[in-house]
Structure 1
Amino acid sequence: MTDTCIGIIGGSGLYQIDGLEEATWQSVDSPWGDASDEILTGRLDGVRMAFLPRHGRGHVQSPSSINYRANIDSMKRLGVTDIFSVSACGSFREEMAPGDFVIVDQFIDRTFAREKSFFGAGCVGHVSVAHPTCPRLGDAAEAAARAAGITTHRGGTYLAMEGPQFSTLAESRLYREVWGCDVIGMTNMPEAKLAREAEICYASVAMITDYDSWHPDHGEVDVNDIIRTLFGNADKARDMVARLPSLLGATRDACPHGCDRALEYAILTQPAERDPALVAKLDAVAGRVLAAAG
């Protein structure tokens, strides 16, 4: 048994978590650089929580400028065991309407301007992301959202685009009709991959703001409409988050899906050949297995 620490990474519109006891904004010193912002820590219903505004307070980081490695590393250093990513997304499905939430379980990564791994030359690691989200956390997110009265869809494929521009009509049709995607956003990759490398359970909650550009009755994305929907979704997200501690509890067993043991056989570089400088940077995300290897 270990203590639960729930990490919330809040996307567009979600910059604060209400009701935290002992709430403190704190910076975390990460060897991967600066995180998007300080992290708000505290307790909610007796359970430790850590909240990071993905774009920074005031929305100062674009999807491509976010330091995803520093964000995940900082969460790991604070002892976060479970991450819930909450982000604004467009919808490719009529039934997934603006204001609805989708519990994402798959991704297609079309980003290209981001550092996507903690590992590299001098310490090579390969983790499986065949199932990139944790079903246990998906269950909790679904239960919390439904209890909050939010129309919620379980399961969906998230197309991660580089941005910051929205899709062309041709791209939107490709992603929807040919690739079978359900939602589109700009921030869950490489975030989900890095959480897996850091052995942190990860769930993705997509807050629908628009129909992208494929819908014949809605036309291109209207930023004014998105902003209006964002504020409503942020209120719903705070209600959902407030219900998570009672569902997860203050302590937890090992993840039944193995998310917290993802590095068990992932590092291929032999101990004698590992780059000491890179190994030092990996002390938080991979310390469990690196220490075991001597």
Structure 2
Amino acid sequence: MYTDPSTLLSLRARMAALLLVLGTGLPAYALPGGGKVPQSIIDAQSNTPPQLKGVDVAEHLGELVPLEARFTDSSGKAVQLRDVLPRTKPVLFTLVYYNCPLLCNLVINEQIRNMRELGLKLGEDYEAVTLSIDPQDTPAQSLERRRRHLQSMGQPETAPWHFLTGTEEEIQRVAEAVGFKYAYDERTKQYVHPAVVHVLTPEGSISRYLYGTSFRTQDMKLALVEAAGGRVGTSFDRVVLTCFKYDTATRRYGFYVFGFLRLGALMVFSALATMLAYYWRRELKKGAAV
């Protein structure tokens, strides 16, 4: 079959243009012979500062923290994590370090603000544990921080808020268990880390994560009530928890319409049952009178 040379040249020109367009839209490793792009090039093209790479929270909901992990408390006593968990109450668990210039203080201060406004009592309804991620921090620093924070809350020094320090190996063991990913920046000589408060069940399982340096008191309270299986707080708190559900997208508790409908149906059923019981007893009394 004869093909006009001009037509053939035109087709080749079009194919070349098409390949050029496709080539500009594909990454190097997708082009023929491109191979895999070195990680150094990918990192260089990323907008994330090098010191923040890998800093994140990987949620491990329902998993147990390593209860046998060994630390030192603010009195200098060697303890296991199981020794400072109450077993009967939920726990607010935070990972910070004492020489943090800003973020840790913001997280702890917000935690304290919420603890003041919870309507729950530290020691009766819940407890708190704070672990330093810096192996250079000391029990003396733990004691100083503990006294300062309890004093700001108007709590006695015997209140159950435990401050712990430990070795890098044991710290990382707990951090990995709760999904707390942090890094040390050699340039600034500081730790970079996420801002989060973990809520643990009385048994030491991870129940909820509260993110940021500003969270709603309602969210913390519902998280504690939820972690305790409704064994702390008032009856009203448990009713509220029925109508609110944690939204993983917004990372807060929101109104749960099906919970509200279920609660409404239960109230209607209870009212009907009470009314029927009343009429049934009245009819029995009439029959006995006859």
Q: Same fold (TM over 0.5)?
A: no
Which one has more relative contact order, counting CA pairs under 8 Å at least 6 apart?
1
**TM bracket, shorter-chain basis:** under 0.3
- TM-score, normalization: structure 2? 0.26
- Based on CA coordinates, which of the two structures has the bigger radius of gyration? 2
| Greater fraction of residues in strand | 1
